[in-house]
Amino acid sequence: MFGSSCLVRTVYVILTWLTVLVLFLHNTELRKCQLRGDLLHPLMFSCLVLLSVLLYFTVSLMDPGFVLSDQDTKGTIVERIEELEKMIPQEQSSLKQRRCGFCFLLQPMRAKHCKMCKRCVRRFDHHCPWIDNCVGERNHKWFLLYLCVQFAALSWGLQNAWSGIDFAPTWQQWFTLNGFLLGALGLTGVFSMVALLLLCIHVYLASVNTTTWEFMSQHRISYLKHCDTEDNPFDRGLICNLWDFFCICGTVAWERIYIKNTNLTV
């Protein structure tokens, strides 16, 4: 409870609400709206920040798609193995499920063992240190939604921080007057660029139905290393890829899609 996870999340919450407090206490657009009695914009901004915090904890605390062990299932070990083997058509005897070299579980296609979480994750994308959790099959869409909301909140905060910068006759007085706002401006500026970069990357990955791990390590992944750089066996087209990414909530049998698409391209 008081390990690195708690520390990271505490730092996130403190930085977020300290920045919001600075924006409301200085002569920013938010403060001016309050003084005019226009509470709509301050309320909308506060709700957007609150939503970003709630999404952060949702993505950080939820199951990213951990592969269940035999002890975690309600059936017997034999039933668990039979359930996993149904994902592979019987006529495709050459395609075998792998067993993880770390936790020795039967590993579905596109799953990878995370050394930080010490568990296998379905459709593994990456382990994010900022949320201290893996991004996988179950929380990838929520991670992308969190990036959208976080970028919107940071951009709005950046604009408000800039609007509150006041002029002073000397540099020393200027830094004294705007010190906290400059800190908020720098913080929101850096994090907004990072959020925008990550948002663009993950929108692209979702549109072509690939993951960060697969994109970076294609030459080392057994089911992808024989494919060309532009040949993705899971790509079903832009519309279908985005529909599957955002609208499918259950576990996907990637083995069947892989077999179907590789047979079509052979």
Catalytic residues: 128
Cα dist. 159→53, 115, 150, 185, 248 in Å? 20, 40, 14, 8, 36
The backbone torsions φ and ψ at residue 182, rounded to the nearest 5 degrees and listed phi first, read: -65, -40
Q: Nearest 5 degrees, angle CA 220-CA 223-CA 226?
A: 75
Q: Exposed e or buried b for every residue in 118-143, given b needs 16+ CB within 10 A?
A: ebbbbbbbbbbeebbbbbbbbbbbbb
> Which stretches within 209-219 are classed as H helix?
212-216
